Structure 1
Amino acid sequence: MIWVFVYGTLLPGESNHHVVKPYLVQSQPGRVRGRLYDIGAYPALVLDEQADWVEGEWHCIREEGLRDLDELEGYTGEAHNREYERVWIQDGEADRSGWVYVYGDSRGYPPIPEGSWRHWRKQKESLPK
């Protein structure tokens, strides 16, 4: 089993949860230090020990699920042409560690206040179009 911290579209009720769901053994709330950025249809996390908390969940998945998550996140293990990096991280409060997909920097995208993709997405959806 492998633990993965998720903070965006892989969360239950979000658009890509179906990718992780077949491999999901258990989940629990979690949070890490960093900043979220609005990429459009999904967020990106930039780790930063001096930043506020980013809310998410720890998903314990069967090992074969990591391959599908890597594919979704565009992570090939090669150092070029990938959007996300997969790194090992420790939860800020709980005794939990595992993988998380992150950006190295903001790449100029706007920050998501309050460190919650779900909250931010709901706010965006309620804005007049």
Structure 2
Amino acid sequence: MNSYVFVYGSLMRGRSNHDIIKDGYFLGRAVVQGVGLYDVTPYYPGAVRERDKMVRGEVYEVDAATLKTLDWVEVNGNLYRREIFNAYLQERGDKVEVWVYLWLQEIDPKKEVPLEAQPWQERDPGGEEG
């Protein structure tokens, strides 16, 4: 059975881990409400449940094998936990029920990625943090 997954970091098109979902069907760019985004490392962000926040990303339809691979990559239950949210596709305006991987570790409130600075971008680990 296929599932819809919302990605907001290194799994997005053109990013370092996109190959993992490249065979999934791209539904479009989307936003998810009730989630805030934070820089947790230079290599990937973390999303946490926050009532008045939104995250920009992409939605993909993936098969069960790809979802299982994503759970492994995201260390589901340890670094991230997969939860259901509604995503709103920007081009079509459709609402889609999606899996979102939420960050389970501590976040630094000063490292929030505001909506106007999204989608998240990978950083140079040797450069200045933003």
TM interval, short-chain normalised: 0.7 to 0.9
Matched pairs, number = 118
Q: CA deviation at 1:106?
A: 4.8
Matches within 5 A, 1:107-122: 107-108=107-108, 110-114=111-115, 116-118=118-120, 120-121=121-122
Amino acid at match of 2:108: G
Residue identity matched to 1:63: A
Task: State the identity %.
Answer: 26
Q: What is the TM-score when the length of structure 2 is the normalising length?
A: 0.77
Structure showing the higher helix proportion among its residues: 1
1:64 corresponds to: 65
What is the 5 A alignment of 1:1-129? 1-22=2-23, 24-33=24-33, 34-40=35-41, 41-51=43-53, 53-75=54-76, 82-92=78-88, 94-104=94-104, 106-108=106-108, 110-114=111-115, 116-118=118-120, 120-121=121-122, 124=123
Higher-strand-fraction structure? 2
RMSD: 2.4
Structure 1 runs (4+) greater than 4 angstroms displaced: none
Partner of 1:79: none
TM-score in terms of structure 1 length: 0.78
Q: Unmatched 5+ residue regions in structure 2?
A: none
Following TM superposition, by how much is the alpha carbon of 1:25 offset from its aligned partner in structure 2, in angstroms?
Answer: 2.3
Q: Distance in 1 between matches of 2:68 and 2:105?
A: 24
- Structure 1 Cα separation of the partners of residues 47 and 59 of structure 2: 15
Alpha-carbon shift at residue 116 of structure 1 (Å): 1.3
